[in-house]
Amino acid sequence: MKVKKVLNNNVALVQNDRGHECIVTGKGIVFDKRAGDEIDPDRVEKLFSLEERGQTEKLSKIIENIPLENLRVCDEIINTAKCELTGLSDNIYLTLIDHVSFAIERHKDNLDLASSIKWEMKRFYPKEFRVGLMALDIIEKRLNMRLPDDEAAFIAFHLANAGAKNSSYLEESLHLVKEILDIIKNYFSIKYDEDSTAYGRLLIHLKYLSRRVFKEDSSILEQPSNRLIYRLKAEFPEESSCVESMGVFIKQTYDYAVSDDEKSYLIIHIHSLLGEFQKGIVS
C-alpha cells in the first residue's frame, strides 16, 4: 500500500492494492515518509476502511491530531460495542473516536461535562449505556483515568445514533418521552418506581409513541375496540383527562394528533401505573 497523505508519524491515509482509500495506524509507521512511499504492512497495527463514500477522508481529518494511545482506546471501545450491539453503522467511527478522545483530553484538564440526557439513555437504551460503562472501564484500564458516568451516557448516545435507522430525531424523542412523564408525574403528584412493571411498560409504549411522532415508525397500533375509549373515559376520568392534556401538548408542540387508539393504551398504562403507586404507599 502507498501513502496518499501523512497525517502524523503514526497515522496515514493510504491507497491499497485495489485502489481503495484506507487509514493505517502504527507507532512511527510513516516517520520520514512522503506521499507515494510504500508502507511495510507488518508495521500496521490497525487498518480503517469505511464503506460509505467520503467517510474515510472525513475520518482522516478527525484522527489527524488524536494521540495514538487515544486512538487505540477508541478502537477497542468500538470493537467491544460491535460485539455487544448489532446494526452499528460506520458513522460510529466518526462520532465516537472524536468524542472519546476529546473527553479524555478534557478530563486531563478537569473539564468534565454533565450529560442532560443521562437518565433517558440509562432507561431507554440500557444496552448502549452498559457498553458506555464498559468503555469507561477500558479507558481506566488503558490510560489509568476514570471518566465520570456522564461520559457513559454521551457514549451511549453516539452508539444509539449509529444503530438507529433515522438518528436525527433521537435526542428529540428522548426529550418528548421525558416531557410526557413529567406531565403524568405533575398531574397525579406521584413519584415513579423505576423498577416497577407498569413503569417499564409505560416507558416502552412512550418510546414507540415518540417514534411515531417523529415518523421513524409507521407501524399501526393493534386496534382496540372502537367503544373502548368511551368506556375508559367513563371509568377512569382522571387518567383520561391527563391523556387529553398530553394530546394537546403533543399537537401544539410537535403537530402530531394522538389517535383515540393511542389514548386508550395510554389511559390503561397510566391506570396500571397509579395502581402500583398506591400499592407502594399502602405497603
Of 40-49, 80-89, 143-152, 253-262, the least confident: 40-49
Read off the pLDDT of residues 85-123 as tens digits, 9 standing for 90 and up.
988 888 899 889 999 999 999 999 999 988 877 887 888
pTM over cut 0.75: no
Domains defined along the chain, listed by start: 2-53 (2.30.24.10), 68-163 (1.10.1790.10), 170-282 (1.10.1790.10)
Share of the chain above pLDDT 70, in %: 92
Mean pLDDT of 42-62: 83
- Cβ neighbours around 239 below 10 Å, total: 24
Instruction: Look up residue 255 and give its three cell numbers.
Output: 403537530
